[in-house]
Amino acid sequence: MKEGPDITLIGSLIGDPARANMLSALISGKALTASELANEAGITLQTTSAHLKKLELGGLIRQRKQGRHRYFNLADEDVATLLETMMGLAAKKGHIRTRTGPKAPEMRKARVCYNHLAGEFGVQMYDSLVGRGFLQEDQDEIAITDSGRDFIKGLGIDLDPLQKAKRPLCKSCLDWSARRSHLAGSLGTALLNHIYEKGWAKRLEDVRIVEFSRRGEAAFHDQFPLLAD
């Protein structure tokens, strides 16, 4: 009778507040333990365990054992993309979590989306790379150009290991705050790491916010300038 993919399971997994909180926490890309997720969601460890099992069974998260800890991550970038898409729609429809803290503007400015940079800074970096011809958009695929390779190499990033990985080097991800694309994929991850390593910014504890120092911000704008149009 019915045909096609079934979206009810994914919907109901995201539909529970406790699980939505856990998933939101995991968009930061940071691997979290069950206890941390329990704390994040405000529920006991037993309940958390049950939720995590369901999320894993539904293919939304992955777990990694390490000693007596279990670290949880989103299953892949597609899950992060879906969550950001939903956040975009939710924001548009006015479904905002009631207690909106003072962090919201910082979130809009620069935050982590799974493992790459999002927010205004993420969009700027993406625009800069495309505008200067370092990335090229072809359909919905993005590819790095020869001059882009040189640029990345100039930053001290080695592309070879990134290209060998299974995950795509370049991938676009839609922002809920800016409604624009930013760069995902292994290159997106590498560039975020580059920002950390240069000391331009640091990730706030247990939050998705990426906090740039004043010097870091200047260096960022210098490295990823927007072309006047």
Partner DNA sequence: TTCATGCTTCGATATTAAACGAACTATGAG
Partner DNA sequence: CTCATAGTTCGTTTAATATCGAAGCATGAA
Compute the distance between CA of residue 82 and CA of residue 58 in angstroms, rounded to an integer: 14
Judge whether 40 and 25 are in contact, CB under 8 Å. Answer: yes
Residue 168: is it exposed, middle or buried by C-beta count within 10 angstroms (0-12/13-18/19+)?
middle
Shortest Å distance, C-beta 70 to a second copy: 21
64 binds DNA (CB under 7 A): no
Give the residue, chosen from 44, 46, 65, 138, that forms a contact with a second copy under the rule CB under 8 A: 138
Q: Does 77 bind a second copy (CB under 8 A)?
A: no
Residue 168 touches which member of DNA, a second copy, none, C-beta under 5-8 Å by kind: none
User: Any idea of the CA torsion for 190, 193, 197, 199, to the nearest 10 degrees?
Assistant: 130
Task: Decide if residue 49 touches a second copy (CB under 8 A).
Answer: no
What's the distance, CA 83 to chain centroid? 10
User: Which residue from 23, 34, 112, 113 is in contact with DNA, where contact means CB under 7 A?
Assistant: 34
- What's the min distance (Å) between Cβ of 224 and a second copy? 15
Q: Which stretch binds DNA (CB under 7 A): 64-72, 77-85, 116-124, 205-213?
A: 64-72
CA distances, 174 to each of 4, 42, 81, 159 (Å):
25, 29, 7, 24
Q: Catalog residues that contact DNA under the rule CB under 7 A.
A: 12, 16-18, 33-35, 43-54, 67-70
